[in-house]
Structure 1
Amino acid sequence: MDLNSDVGESYGRWVLGDDAALMPYVTSVNVACGFHAGDPTTLRRTCEAAAAAGVTVGAQVGYQDLGGFGRRFIDMDLIELTDHVVYQIGALQALAAVAGTSVRYVKPHGALYNTAVHHRGQARSVVDAVRAVDPSLPLVGLPGSALLELAEAAGLRPVTEAFADRGYTPRATLVSRSEPGALLSDAAEVAARMVRMVTESVVTAVDGSDVAVRAESICVHGDSPGAIAMAAAVRDALRGAGVDVRAFA
């Protein structure tokens, strides 16, 4: 099981998260590409830290929305969206190369991630971008999403993902951040939840029902309160349950 986190989201003098402290506990990092967060120096330094820790780097692509942190839906031209994703992957590829590593996969961020669950047009734009840049790059998304369905049909490797620190709806989608139960912060609870997801393929939804979730990778958001403690707890709990924690790419 892969354990990933969103990193590289600081911008200039504004610092978000503690990427360096998080690196020892994860196996992959989703590095911002400058559109929803991150500046070139932050991204290079983040890639250097990942390389030093032996952590796999992925490109986290999103809407061009620094003010909204990429968490606002943008109804944009689909060709333009493809170009935006190509641009972001290319930018991070260059900075990763300078830092002594490489981009090994792609994952949408925020509103684009959630939109691509159902919006087939935007999902296809992301898939088209990844295939155009490098069809060997896996694409990470929510199980059952249009994004992963279209990725597989296009010959890309789809990688299913679960979220340690997010609430689930009874439909196995993520609870909106504007609603109660969206964010989880108790490290022990989160760790036990993820062990159950890995061993039983279910998580408890906000209404108390069990929903099926099968994933190859688990995300702990780097900007969540207690992110480092949660990542450490999830890693240790998985290993304690006999799960091999390693990168998928």
Structure 2
Amino acid sequence: MHHVDLNCDMGEGFGVYRTGPDSELMKYITSANIACGFHAGDAATIRRTVKLALAHGVAIGAHPGLPDLAGFGRREMAITPEEAYELTVYQLGAVYAFAKSEGGSVAHVKPHGALYNMAAKSRPLADAIAEAVYKVEPSLMLFGLAGSELIRAGDAIGLHTVNEVFADRSYEQDGTLTPRGTEGAVIADPALAVGQAVQMIKGGEVRTRQRSGYILKADTVCVHGDTPGAVEHVRQLRAALEAEGIAVRKAGG
């Protein structure tokens, strides 16, 4: 039987600002990537999101990003591998402590936004992030873009890596995600997103924006909570996957 994890970026507000219907989305996902305070999130938001994940039996993940609150961590910054290591350890520590204090534990780490995309292409940055995760806790899983440098770096250091695919994003012919702002980068039609997810999980391939096929492995599917109609999209996706005989369960479980 095919199986897959469903993960979602969460806790991406701060102070009085909230983004995404986290409490509703938790009903349909199996892994939550919790913002750690650099691109979004703060102490109260991290704690609240950790407790919400524990209440729903959802795996807790740290979601470290670049220190760019104004740009939501989606703008590239010229950081060194040493800086990537340090900001990963720092942010992982925040979610790790809150999870432990609430009687839970962190299962995985998934970089956010520009940091994620940079590490998908840059082996030095990928190595630094993988080393940071390994040195904090070698049993943690590392989520990365399927077939990317981040996955290769995690494999090389001995981490359990999880190949991530995106139902609602289009792909380039080299397997990277189409940059946001490019026409067609985000797939708004739920039916198209579901079809792409099923093809990636069952067929091991995605149709790129250039209309070529790209072979990949799908261990976890990312769903975005900050898009209009997110809850209904995620509900439809999970129902469609299960109807296709694809079991939805936590990564590594």
1:231 maps to what in 2? 234
Q: Give identity over the alignment, percent.
A: 45
Partner of 1:129: 132
> Could you tell me whether the CA contact under 8 Å between 1:170 and 1:211 is conserved in 2?
yes
Secondary structure class of the residue paired with 2:248: coil
Checking the alignment, whether the CA contact within 8 Å between 2:147 and 2:217 is kept in structure 1 is no
- Choose which of 18, 21, 24 in structure 2 pairs with 1:21: 24
Q: Quote the residue 1:218 is aligned against.
A: 221
Residue 228 of structure 1: how far off its partner (Å): 1.2
Mean Cα deviation higher: 19-28 or 95-104: 95-104
The answer on whether the counterparts of 1:44 and 1:98 sit within 8 Å (CA) in structure 2 is no
CA deviation map 1:39-75 (0-9, x unaligned) = 1111111111110001001111111111111111111
In the TM superposition, residue 2 of structure 1 has moved relative to its aligned partner by 0.3
One-letter code aligned to 2:62: A
Gaps of 5+ in 2: none
Query: Match for residue 62 of structure 1?
Result: 65
Counterpart AA for 2:84: L
Which of 170, 173, 176 is equivalent to 1:170?
A: 173
Equivalent residue, structure 2, for 1:105: 108
Matched with 1:193 is: 196
The residue number in structure 2 matching 1:244 is 247
Identify which of 184, 200, 218 aligns with 1:181. 184
Structure 2 residue matching 1:194: 3-state secondary structure: helix
Is the contact made by 2:30 and 2:248 (CA closer than 8 Å) also made in structure 1?
yes
Pairing of 1:77-96 with structure 2 (within 5 A)? 77-96=80-99
Among candidates 156, 159, 172, match of residue 153 of structure 1: 156
Q: What is the CA–CA distance in structure 2 between the aligned matches of 1:174 and 1:77, rounded to whole Å?
A: 23
For these two proteins, the number of residue pairs brought into alignment is: 249
Give the Cα–Cα distance (whole angstroms) in 2 for the partners of residues 229 and 189 of structure 1. Answer: 14
Structure 2 contact 147–216 (Cα < 8 Å) conserved: no
